[in-house]
């Protein structure tokens, strides 16, 4: 059989791995390329394998870099089923709708302001295209073996990372292939540790933090200090946050501090419509995370949830100190901009970054100490305190990734290191080869390897 590395090879986005035998073609994940322009432009190119020839898609989780190219795949002729877990289906729906909306808005803006070299600018896909994808989703329980043919079956198993995320064990014509998907930290705040594979002939392992060990700080303690310091100055704390998972983690930490009377009795506000939708999913899918029903409902009572923009305005002009969690996490857009327009120029306020800040984003610039920030075409002086809370990553570090391989009862023929920048994959390859004596390959995008 052949493995086609169509995306997420040599980079962390655009995850797409295709397994082709003489009788079946299966695509694992169908992600959007993100970040640098040369990567994003790949989203416009046709797949090097005809989507009409793909029988099934198996989806590890609902992040955009794993499901965000599905509307294009369907547009280009894919008609099969897309298997995933129930929370993944819901998260993918929210993320794809949001992605289509952003693409439609960007194309419209480019056409109105005539800045696109494409005339007219056309969105990569629209909400209508996403609606063609949704009926193809087929929900599967984790740990249940699903037969795709006489000689092909698969199952999902728990991967931590985000709600609903799973790794995949694929038995295909006598070979056992395991795809890690993205793997969370073993001591994640809300999620259980990832289930480790017991045997595999080939493993496809993510390597986002393959050359890094996460810092050993205590995010709860860091947050307590930041909230109290900002309150003592009479200021507001703004936490830009990813809507999926991170908002819910921040809510949990704040609720814990509040319960122990370690932080003041002030408004704690969640202002992200998608974050609130994901919170609903947390409440509905309790077997997927550590919180029980009482904790969930008690946690929610600590917060004011906002979805209407008029309420955002009201909160911004309310003078009392407060804590606001708003998307987006890297300050690339979303409600958080409205808060920062008003708050970032005042020294009593604090902005706490709680996630990865990619190159070129406002979040990264603030983190690197830029003294001004541009929002909606206007320049603002940065007078607020800018801080970062480490240790909250949804990805495991080198230690977690190696640990994930330690329960194998056989020796796989090869481990393909995917979903990582080159140095990260190289770092992980060295460690796996020295510590576990397992053979690793770092595939390149568009490489086809026979196994």
Residues 6+ away with beta carbon under 8 Å from 237:
226, 227, 230, 231, 322, 323, 324, 349, 350, 351, 352
Nearer to Zn ion, 165 or 340 (CB): 165
Sign of CA dihedral 271, 273, 278, 280: positive
Nearer to Zn ion, 142 or 258 (CB): 142
Minimal distance, residue 60 CB to Zn ion, in Å: 8
Sign of CA dihedral 95, 10, 148, 193: negative
Minimal distance, residue 66 CB to Zn ion, in Å: 6
Minimal distance, residue 328 CB to Zn ion, in Å: 16
Nearer to Zn ion, 92 or 337 (CB): 92
Nearer to Zn ion, 162 or 373 (CB): 162
Nearer to Zn ion, 90 or 182 (CB): 182
How many beta carbons lie within 10 A of that of residue 313, not counting itself?
12
Minimal distance, residue 11 CB to Zn ion, in Å: 13
Contacting positions for Zn ion (CB under 5 A):
63, 182
CA distance 62 to 163: 9
Minimal distance, residue 165 CB to Zn ion, in Å: 7
Minimal distance, residue 20 CB to Zn ion, in Å: 25
Minimal distance, residue 401 CB to Zn ion, in Å: 14
Nearer to Zn ion, 12 or 73 (CB): 12
Minimal distance, residue 63 CB to Zn ion, in Å: 4
Nearer to Zn ion, 56 or 242 (CB): 242
Q: Angle, nearest 10°, between helix axes 246-259 and 273-284?
A: 70
236 neighbors 321 (Cβ within 8 angstroms): yes
CA distance 269 to 28: 38
Minimal distance, residue 204 CB to Zn ion, in Å: 14
Nearer to Zn ion, 332 or 345 (CB): 332
Nearer to Zn ion, 15 or 312 (CB): 15
* Residue at token pair 């202002």: 271
Nearer to Zn ion, 14 or 321 (CB): 14
Minimal distance, residue 182 CB to Zn ion, in Å: 4
């Amino acid at each position: 059989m052949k493995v086609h590395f169509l995306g997420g090879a040599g980079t962390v986005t655009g995850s797409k791995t295709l397994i082709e035998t003489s009788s079946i073609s299966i695509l694992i994940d169908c992600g959007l390329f993100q970040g640098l322009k040369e990567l994003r432009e790949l989203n416009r190119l046709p797949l090097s394998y005809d989507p009409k020839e793909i029988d099934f898609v198996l989806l590890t989780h609902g992040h955009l870099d794993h499901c965000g190219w599905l509307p294009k795949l369907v547009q280009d002729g894919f008609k099969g089923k897309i298997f995933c877990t129930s929370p993944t289906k819901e998260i993918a729906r929210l993320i794809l709708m949001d992605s289509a909306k952003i693409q439609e808005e960007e194309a419209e803006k480019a056409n109105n302001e005539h800045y696109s070299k494409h005339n007219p600018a056309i969105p990569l896909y629209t909400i209508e295209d996403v609606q063609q994808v949704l009926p193809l989703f087929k929900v599967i329980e984790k740990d249940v073996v699903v037969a795709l043919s006489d000689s092909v079956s698969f199952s999902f198993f728990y991967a931590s990372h985000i709600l609903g995320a799973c790794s995949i064990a694929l038995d295909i014509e006598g070979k056992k292939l395991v795809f890690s998907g993205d793997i969370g930290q073993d001591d994640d705040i809300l999620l259980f540790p990832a289930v480790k594979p017991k045997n595999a002939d080939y493993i496809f392992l993510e390597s986002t933090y393959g050359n890094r060990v996460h810092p050993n700080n205590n995010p709860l303690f860091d947050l307590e200090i930041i909230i109290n310091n900002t309150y003592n100055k009479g200021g507001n704390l703004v936490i830009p946050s990813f809507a999926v998972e991170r908002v819910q983690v921040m809510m949990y930490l704040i609720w814990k501090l509040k319960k122990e009377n370690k932080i003041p009795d002030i408004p704690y506000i969640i202002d992200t419509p998608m974050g609130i939708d994901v919170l609903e999913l947390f409440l509905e899918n309790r077997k997927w995370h550590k919180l029980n029903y009482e904790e969930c409902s008690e946690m929610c009572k600590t917060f004011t949830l906002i979805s209407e923009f008029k309420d955002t305005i009201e909160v911004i002009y309310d003078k009392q100190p407060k804590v606001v969690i708003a998307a987006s996490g890297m300050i690339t857009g979303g409600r958080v901009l409205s808060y920062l327009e008003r708050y970032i120029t005042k020294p009593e306020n604090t902005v706490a970054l709680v996630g990865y800040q990619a190159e070129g984003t406002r979040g990264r610039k603030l983190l690197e100490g830029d003294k001004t920030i541009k929002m909606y075409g206007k320049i603002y002086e940065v007078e607020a305190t800018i801080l970062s809370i480490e240790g909250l990553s949804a990805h495991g570090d080198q230690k977690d990734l190696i640990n994930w391989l330690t329960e194998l009862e056989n020796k796989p023929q090869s481990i393909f290191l995917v979903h990582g920048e080159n140095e990260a994959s190289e770092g992980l390859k060295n460690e796996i080869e020295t510590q576990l004596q397992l053979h690793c390959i770092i595939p390149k995008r568009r490489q086809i390897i026979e196994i």
